[in-house]
Amino acid sequence: MALPSFFRTYKNKQFNYIPIFYDKQKEELQERIRKIEKDMKVSTDNEYRPAIIKGSFRRERQRKVKESRSSIIRFVIILLILFVIVYYLLYK
């Protein structure tokens, strides 16, 4: 039986890292097979779809930049409206 202590000893953190390998030829072959099966109307319900698609990082970054710009513009407009309201209330 252990006595309680003031100092806590932490265990090492463990990570569940699963490496992802990308094989361009295999992906192209699977894409061709998928298109042929779709043409033949073969059911492929449990089909693997890669999470990494060519250009997806660039599109995501562009989307975030666009959202950032729109939020900054929205913030500036709201700030200007509030400034006008405060100016109108204080000086008129």
pLDDT in tens, 22-47: 788 988 999 999 888 888 875 555 66
Residue 10: the pLDDT is 74
Q: For the chain, what are the domain ranges?
A: 24-49+56-91
Long-range contacts: 16-24, Cβ < 8 Å, 24+? 20/52, 22/50, 22/52
pLDDT at residue 5, rounded to an integer: 65
Q: What are phi and psi of 45, to 5 degrees?
A: -75, -45
pLDDT number for residue 47: 67
For 44, residues 6+ apart whose C-beta sits below 8 A from its C-beta are 34, 37
Q: Which of the residues in the chain have pLDDT under 50? A: none
> In angstroms, what is the C-alpha Rg of the chain?
28
pLDDT at 90: 92
Tell me what pLDDT residue 40 has. 82
